[in-house]
Amino acid sequence: MRADRLVATLLLMQTRGRVTAAELAAELEISVATARRDLEALSTAGVPVYPQPGRGGGWQLVGGARTDLSGLTARESQALFLLAGPAAAASPEVKSALRKLMGALPGTFRSGAEAAADAVVVDPAGWGERVKDRPPVVELLRDAVIARRRVRFTYSGRERLVDPWGLVDKDDVWYLVAGTPAGRRTFRVDRIAEPVPTEEAADRPADLELAKVWDEVVEEIEKRRSLLTSDVVLARRHFGVLRDRFGRHCELVAELPGDRVRARVAAPAPIMIAQELAGWGALVEVESPESVKAELARLGRELITRYAPGCLE
């Protein structure tokens, strides 16, 4: 798992002082390209890891070789926990590693590291629209979450003063989960204008777990979306692709003879399911409902009307 490798990479660099991507790849039994990406990820996250060109070069942790994590700065420890935090939600091993790392940090750094570990949630299942470029304001909001400082901004034409609880990366669309006088609220980060961190301490529930809070947010939103479900049959080898397309809105229902499976997909409207499945052609058989079949038939007629005459000439 990547979070484990990042931790191992940092520990190795603290022990040796300088390593090459090839040495790191051999030590961790990964490819050189993967080792280089991990080193670049640490550098991008704020850990002072820099390449040293030329003969005898490699990647070096600025400040010299160190043998334990108590040598990390506050910003370094926050960067490391920020990288590992999202993976910890799904991995007991990463959780265990973070607990051990926490014990090795100076006491003055622990609150910031704990905040960073629960500052960001990654949710790969999108809600349709994708924003590929991360809004610049993400960094400002992340720092406010870690520092436990209230943030003032304009949203939908209104000025807001919120207690930032955490950030969620949902299929490249970022959301801020925050406390407000009216209770918990969720804000799309790309719609936040003129954000300004304040010196006021933010109120964050002591027992708050961002991943669980986000699950509650998703459940509430999905209920409002009134999802329509559709049962489809396809070859087992294609199920992974279907699940990638529908995300959390795709589940395996039953195993069928002939190495086929029945899956259940969902979307707010029949046309949205039909649009996703139309490109599959005969690879997918829609069993229900009739509304999805009707939309597929309509799409088929439109395609024949537009393209069949030219194809037959």
**Token pair for residue 272?**
């949205």
**Domain ranges (residues) in the chain:** 2-117, 121-209, 226-312
> Quick one: CATH architecture of 226-312?
2-Layer Sandwich (3.30)
C-alpha radius of gyration, the chain, whole number: 24
Neighbours of 147 (CB within 10 A): 16
The segments of the chain whose pLDDT lies below 50 read 1, 64-68, 131, 312-313
pLDDT for 86: 55
pLDDT for 312: 47
Handedness of CA 210, 140, 81, 31 (dihedral sign): positive
pLDDT for 307: 84
**Considering the entire predicted model, what is its pTM?**
0.44
How far apart are the C-alpha atoms of 267 and 196, rounded to whole Å? 37
Alpha helices (runs of H) in the chain, residue ranges in sequence order: 2-16, 21-28, 32-45, 74-88, 92-104, 107-117, 137-147, 210-225, 239-246, 270-278, 290-312
pLDDT for 80: 61
pLDDT for 82: 58
CA atoms within 13 A on the CB side of 239: 19
Pick the CATH number of 121-209 from 2.60.40.10, 1.10.150.50, 2.30.30.100, 1.10.287.1080: 2.30.30.100
> Quick one: CATH architecture of 2-117?
Orthogonal Bundle (1.10)
* N-to-C CA span, the chain: 55
